[in-house]
Every structure is written in structure tokens, then in C-alpha cells.
Structure 1
Amino acid sequence: MSKPGLNTLKPGEHYKANEIDSFITTTDAVILSTNDNQLFSDPEREFRVLHESEGFFEHSSEDGEKHFREKKAYVVEKV
């Protein structure tokens, strides 16, 4: 399932951790994993993309406000 040069992840599709690693290294995006901090512990482990979002809110510690960031965010789960 090699997908060199990924420029997006598609909901419902499966990707190996090393493919997600390559994607996030070359893309300005956020990955949220149900596998906590073990997403990249096994490069061959497969993950399914559950959801894709065009952005997210985050709280700023600088001004105490919530700001919407227009940055792709993906939720993945271990298969």
C-alpha cells in the first residue's frame, strides 16, 4: 500500500504509520491519534483516517483567547 508523495489523507482509508510520518513531515497539518503517543512506534502499523477537518480552535496562552486555525487536522485510529 505504498503511496509516495501523499498530499492529503482521505477519511475511511488505511495508511501505515510510516506513510503518515512522511505526510506530516512534508505537510502543514495536525494528526490526532487514538493510539496516543505511540503513533510512530511501529512504522508498519496501520491506521484508518476517521475524520478530516479544515481547521480547529486552540486557546492562546499569550492573550487568553481562542483562535481558529485554518490548518488541516486528521483524526486517525489504530486498525
Structure 2
Amino acid sequence: MSKPGLNTLKKGTQYPARDLDSFVSTTEAVVLSTNDNDLFTDPDRHYVVTHEFNGFFEHSADNGEKYYREKKAYVVEKA
């Protein structure tokens, strides 16, 4: 299932952690894991994309405002 140059993730699809690592390194996107900080500890562990968003709200520590960021965001969980 490994694909070099992965530029998008699909909801419901499983990916090995090594592919997610490459994706995060080369794509302007956010990946949120339900596996705490263990996402990249085992490159062969598979994760399934459970949610996909076109953007999200982010709080600015500088001025206290909330801003909508148009940036792909994905939620993954251990398969």
C-alpha cells in the first residue's frame, strides 16, 4: 500500500505510519492521531483515516483572536 509522493489521504483508507510520516513531511496538512504521540514510533503500524476537514480554527496567542485556517486536517487512528 506504500505510495511514494503521497499528496492526499482518503477517509476510510489505511496507511502505514511510514507513508503518513512522508505525507506530513511533504504536504501542507495537519494529521491528528488518537494514538497520542506514538504515530511514528512503528513505521509498519497501520492507521485508518477517520475524518477529513478542509480547515480548522486556531487561536492566536499574539492577539487572542481565533482564525480559520484553510488547511487540510486528518484524524487517524490505529487500525
Task: List alignment gaps of at least 5 residues for structure 2.
Answer: none
- 1:58 offset after TM fit, Å? 0.8
After superposition, where does 1:1-79 map in structure 2 within 5 Å? 1-79=1-79
Runs of 4+ off more than 4 Å: none
- 1:5 offset after TM fit, Å? 1.2
- 1:50 offset after TM fit, Å? 0.4
**What do residues 1-51 of structure 1 show as CA deviations (whole Å, max 9, x unaligned)?**
121111100000000000000011000000000001000000000000001
Letter in 1 for 2:69: R
Counting aligned pairs with the same residue, the percent is: 67
Distance 2:22 2:30 in 1: 13
Query: So what's the TM-score if we normalise by structure 2?
Result: 0.97
Number of equivalenced pairs? 79
- 1:59 offset after TM fit, Å? 0.6
CA RMSD in angstroms, aligned pairs only: 0.5
Q: Secondary structure at the match of 1:76?
A: strand
Task: List alignment gaps of at least 5 residues for structure 1.
Answer: none
